[in-house]
Structure 1
Amino acid sequence: MPFLTSFIISITTWIAPLHLCSSQTPGQLGTTANIRHIVIGRCFTYTTLINPSLRFDCEEIWRRFEEAVIHQASCNVTEDDYNQVFHAMSQIQPCDRFLFWSKTRTLVHSYAAVVPHFWTLEDTLAGYMFNELIWCGQEEDSDFDFNSCPEWSVCRTHPVFSLWKRASQTFAEAACGNITVLLNGSIVNAFNRKSMFGSVELDSLNPHRVKYVNIKVVTNLDGPQIESCSQGSIVDLIHVLRSRGFRWTCTDSDPTLMILQCVQDLTRPYCQRHASILLQQQNLTSN
């Protein structure tokens, strides 16, 4: 089987399931239905099939999560309220595998799927359990509010936002070795100080634990190319890294990221050119 064909089949096999996991529809504004069964079920799936070396009490994690949210006003749950939740699922993560991202959600998880070396926040137990769920409590009731939860933008201490902020901080504090950051070069402010990466994760990275911050800037194949390693907000990110003593690299032409975009439309002129280059490289290595 030709190199490119086998590579594309491999990528497509990994990517296909990702498109099946849609988030809640706009009409579902309350706590996700059956959230208890979903969270505990995901916990058992993670500790049984995904990472069976882990030993966690899934029921206890749920109890601590429930205690953090119910009996609280829907806009009054802080990161500290989740301390006991994260204490119950403390996880040691391997160095040189941390992958951070901003405004590149679909692509970054496709990337992590075909390059198993990488490890995103969503690959942790916390990320896996709570991904794409909605929840909020009721101050006057001992249950979740299944009818209406506020939007994230309404309050700074939204229960969902606070959990992801706490999870992002924990993930970044654990980062070690060579880490990678995937940013979107087709938008203005690819590095945004108000994003979760810019406001939480970057400030939580430890220059004594992180050897290199490897920045990968990816643009849509059809453009526009607004930012790169030498222009736009990426330059600001590099300045922040330098000022804090981090060593860094930056690339805006990663071939794997380009191929992942080509999977969706192989007829693009760029994809045809890139396919020829890959085949030439394969021929050289096989001779």
Structure 2
Amino acid sequence: MGLIKGLAIGGTVTIVVVVIIVVPTVLLTRQEADFQETFMEKCLKFPEEKQVCESKWAAFEQAYVGKDECNITEENYKLLFDQTPFKHPCGKTMFWSKTPDLVHKYTEKRDCLFSLEDTLLGYVLNHLKWCGKLGSKEYIGRSTDKLKTANDPRIVAKTFTENCQECKLNPVDVFWKIASTKFALHACDGASVMLDGERPEPYDSNSFFGGVEVPNLQPPRVNNLTVVLVNPENGKNCTCESLGNLRKDLDQKIGCTCRAVAKSHVEKCIKESTPCGACW
């Protein structure tokens, strides 16, 4: 808003423009508020208690806010994962590669198999994107308030959900790599994996399953891996040796069993709520 005043100096009228800047109230950005709200809603729906969800949010946020978004390490998320160990029965661990929709529909209403996305952090952060910016700060008080110190608690770092850089050590990829590692380390007895038999190479050594989870399966804690190879009606040969590098990548102390199953049969099991063991 500007005020225009006229001053007469030596018979000449000089126009002076006085500009008054009105600073609006600075709140969390809409995208940031939506992200935090989504985190809390999904945590409470898991279900979990409110105070637990608030604690998870605080531990999660401190991992990346105000930090270099391309230099996030396992240490950043240590507090979060220390507070959130896996609790599902370790003998019911279900991995997947290139079959997210089918495996999640299958495990959604069952307590016999658990994918990473069926655990608290996996469920809450699935499909979300986030990052921080080095040194980013924002004042969340009212514009009429006065800052008392540079360490005023109303000065906070921000969460960004847009314009996050695609770099190797970004907070999203690092989170999922740590989560996948710990998920594999939690597995015991028999574990399962659902692979896509329609792909030329159902097993990919460079996928999260092949590159992160397989190397972290610990024998003798894990003694067998069951491969569920989902095919069209006429599927591929189903042996662990036929799945490219799987048998080579898998520790020889871990047994491997392959079961071919038609996709339509899995979908029927989902529809009819067939018990896990009866589907393959």
Aligned to 2:196: 184
Residue of 239, 253, 257 corresponding to 1:249: 257
Aligned to 1:78: 73
Q: Secondary structure at the match of 2:183?
A: helix
Alignment partners' CA distance in 1, 2:255 and 2:266? 28
With over 3 angstroms needed to count, the CA separation of the structure-2 counterparts of 1:232 and 1:250, relative to structure 1, is closer
Q: Unpaired runs of 5+ in structure 1?
A: 1-29, 265-287
1:78-129: CA deviation from partner (whole Å, max 9, x where unpaired): 2331111111112322132111000011111122136541111001111011
**How many percent identity over aligned positions?**
31
Q: Secondary structure at the match of 1:57?
A: helix
Q: Which has the higher helix share?
A: 1
Alignment partners' CA distance in 2, 1:80 and 1:244? 31
Q: Secondary structure at the match of 2:46?
A: helix
Q: Secondary structure at the match of 2:63?
A: helix
Q: Unpaired runs of 5+ in structure 2?
A: 1-29, 137-156, 271-280
1:155 aligns with 2:167: yes
Alignment partners' CA distance in 2, 1:96 and 1:159? 29
Alignment partners' CA distance in 2, 1:164 and 1:247? 26
Alignment partners' CA distance in 2, 1:184 and 1:68? 34
Residue of 238, 245, 251 corresponding to 1:236: 245
Residue of 84, 88, 95 corresponding to 1:93: 88
1:136 aligns with 2:135: no
Residue of 163, 187, 209 corresponding to 1:197: 209
**For 1:1-287, what aligned pairs fall within 5 Å after superposition?**
34-48=34-48, 57-113=52-108, 115-141=110-136, 142-150=157-165, 154-221=166-233, 225=235, 227-230=236-239, 234-241=243-250, 243-252=251-260, 254=261, 257-261=263-267
1:249 maps to amino acid = T
Alignment partners' CA distance in 1, 2:43 and 2:259? 36
Structure with bigger RCO (C-alpha 8 Å, 6+ apart): 1
Alignment partners' CA distance in 1, 2:240 and 2:162? 46
Residue 213 of structure 1: how far off its partner (Å): 0.6
Residue 130 of structure 1: how far off its partner (Å): 0.6
CA-based RMSD of the aligned residues comes to 2.8
Confirm or deny: 8 A CA contact 2:130 2:162 kept in the other structure: no
* TM-score (norm. length: structure 2): 0.71
Q: Which moved more, 1:87-96 or 1:30-39?
A: 30-39
Residue 237 of structure 1: how far off its partner (Å): 0.6
With over 3 angstroms needed to count, the CA separation of the structure-2 counterparts of 1:259 and 1:114, relative to structure 1, is farther
Alignment partners' CA distance in 2, 1:39 and 1:114? 22
Residue 74 of structure 1: how far off its partner (Å): 2.2
Alignment partners' CA distance in 1, 2:161 and 2:249? 42
1:174-224: CA deviation from partner (whole Å, max 9, x where unpaired): 001211111111112221111000111111111111121111111234x7x
Confirm or deny: 8 A CA contact 1:31 1:148 kept in the other structure: no
Alignment partners' CA distance in 2, 1:98 and 1:34? 31
Confirm or deny: 8 A CA contact 2:71 2:169 kept in the other structure: yes
Alignment partners' CA distance in 1, 2:226 and 2:161? 42
Alignment partners' CA distance in 2, 1:156 and 1:232? 32
Q: Quick check: which has more Rg, 1 or 2? A: 2
Residue 230 of structure 1: how far off its partner (Å): 4.1
Alignment partners' CA distance in 2, 1:262 and 1:92? 29
2:191 maps to amino acid = I
